[in-house]
Amino acid sequence: MDPLGSTTWVIAEGYIPGDSTGSGRAFESHETACVLNAGDQDAHVEVTLYFTDQEPVGPYRFTVPARRTVHQRFNDLTDPEPVPRDTDYASVLVSDVPVVVQHTRLDSRKAELALLSTVAWSTS
Amino acid sequence: MDPLGSTTWVIAEGYIPGDSTGSGRAFESHETACVLNAGDQDAHVEVTLYFTDQEPVGPYRFTVPARRTVHQRFNDLTDPEPVPRDTDYASVLVSDVPVVVQHTRLDSRKAELALLSTVAWSTS
Amino acid sequence: MDPLGSTTWVIAEGYIPGDSTGSGRAFESHETACVLNAGDQDAHVEVTLYFTDQEPVGPYRFTVPARRTVHQRFNDLTDPEPVPRDTDYASVLVSDVPVVVQHTRLDSRKAELALLSTVAWSTS
Amino acid sequence: MDPLGSTTWVIAEGYIPGDSTGSGRAFESHETACVLNAGDQDAHVEVTLYFTDQEPVGPYRFTVPARRTVHQRFNDLTDPEPVPRDTDYASVLVSDVPVVVQHTRLDSRKAELALLSTVAWSTS
């Protein structure tokens, strides 16, 4: 299949709750960028984080191999520095080949889950 | 009405929780591709699933008759093989006539429901 | 302000839960098409509903006056016939002037609320 | 990075619940416009609110500095007048430089949270 998607994606909403009530990784509060690379070349993705009152941080880097999806938790980004909790941020993802990005948050601060998801905003 | 929509749709987020707390099909944790075929020809849809660490699986096939909607649960896709639970995946839907695709997940792992929905990403 | 938006909108996901646990209209399970008419002419909107196993029903009609928003609950559409509960459907909205449509569902079948929302798919 | 985004954004869904059960700002029911300005010039944003049965109100004004994100709560907009609670509204955001807007609502009327989010509808 030909490459699907765009090379630049924006997620204007970002917030990792500092608390979780669940047990185990599946129930931990998290923000995720779900990235699909349906093409035949590996996608090298660079993420820049924007904040309210400090300069942007990045690039964070991860690879989505050809014909694979990576559901990258922002919680797990640590280089150049961990993503702060309980802090508003936004992110821009730039890939060297077209990909599709969908944004999801699971919030488990309360005993019951809350979920949100939206396709990110794209341009090429 | 003329055909509405696109022929290629991407849902980068996919995850079927392995557990449900509800009773009955309506409350079972599920992921759904809601497909509308507003045109006058049947839509033959092929779904390919992408994973984190294995080759894509598919095509899964289903038909959306003319002037009908099908809310296809990924839970119910079994040929060529069932969709694994508790596993990250992404999906590409290709139709032979234009359709519109919206993605919804109901999560009933906890006693209360969590819902997400977004229009899928499209190209033609 | 010039008219903003498109004249044709599709919401592929539709489902009105038959049950509610809340008291009062605000907590009743509902599906809503939030329509903004930012222009200077009234918008006459026609809604057609599509189902899984029967012919489409419609048009339902409502008006969004100039410079107004109408958050139209599908629950309240009764002419030519009420929207069935616990039934999958999809909808196409056609307006005579540009509008913007966002889709929201509040599910109160359980004691706690679940919410979803997405901008509808548009074409002109 | 070059400016990303569009200059006009529409959020057709708006509703600030009048009640909250949580304690503290993080758990207060709120509606937010998450705005990313990835460019090198400050973005001056004007918001106009549309209602069901009265003339539009605005402009509300806020600034998103260069290379910053502002997660603007509608709850906090007070000039020219506070945003009414328990009232349907819609909003149009116009910026003098390109930005990206994502809409999020946290509903804490019940003990557990409900979340929704979607990228706003854009035009230039």
Query: Considering the entire predicted model, what is its pTM?
Result: 0.92
- DSSP states of D20-50: --SSSGGGS-EEEEEEEE-SSS-EEEEEEEE
Determine whether the interchain pair B5/C8 forms a contact, defined as Cβ–Cβ distance below 8 Å: no
Low-confidence ranges of chain A (pLDDT < 70): 1-2, 22, 124
Evaluate whether C101 touches C9 at the Cβ level (below 8 Å): yes
Q: How far apart are CA A2 and CA B55, in angstroms?
A: 16
**pLDDT at C1 > cutoff 60:** no
C57-64 vs C43-51, strand pairing mode: antiparallel
Size of interface A-D (CB pairs under 8 A): 91
Q: Measured between beta carbons, which residues in chain A are less than 8 angstroms from residue B109?
A: 27, 113
Evaluate whether D101 touches D11 at the Cβ level (below 8 Å): yes
pLDDT for the residue C77: 95
Per-residue pLDDT of chain D (124 residues; tens, 9 = 90+): 568 999 999 999 898 888 777 678 887 888 899 999 999 999 999 999 999 999 999 999 999 999 999 999 999 999 999 999 999 999 999 999 999 999 888 877 777 777 787 888 887 6
pLDDT tens readout for residues B69-122: 999 999 999 999 999 999 999 999 999 999 999 988 887 777 777 778 788 888
Q: How far apart are CA B36 and CA B70, in angstroms?
A: 7
Among all residues of chain A, which has the CA nearest to that of D25? A86
Determine whether the interchain pair D5/A121 forms a contact, defined as Cβ–Cβ distance below 8 Å: yes
**Burial of C79 by CB count in 10 Å (0-12 exposed, 13-18 middle, 19+ buried)?**
exposed
Q: How far apart are CA A9 and CA A122, in angstroms?
A: 4
| Reduced DSSP (H G I as helix, E B as strand, rest coil) percent helix, strand, coil of chain A, to 5 | 5, 55, 40
Domains of chain A from N-terminus onward? 6-122 (2.60.290.11)
pLDDT tens readout for residues C81-107: 999 999 999 999 999 999 999 988 887
Residues of C near D (CB-CB distance < 8 A)? 1, 4-5, 26-27, 32, 34-36, 38, 67-71, 100-102, 104, 106, 111-119, 122
pLDDT for the residue D111: 73
Q: How far apart are CA C103 and CA C63, in angstroms?
A: 17
- CB within 8 A of B75, min separation 6: which ones? B16, B28, B30, B31, B83
Q: How far apart are CA A30 and CA A114, in angstroms?
A: 11
Name residue A39's amino acid.
G
Q: Rounded to a whole number, what is the distance in Å from the CA of A12 to chain D's nearest CA? A: 5
Bigger pLDDT: B60 or C17? B60
Mean pLDDT of chain B, nearest integer: 90
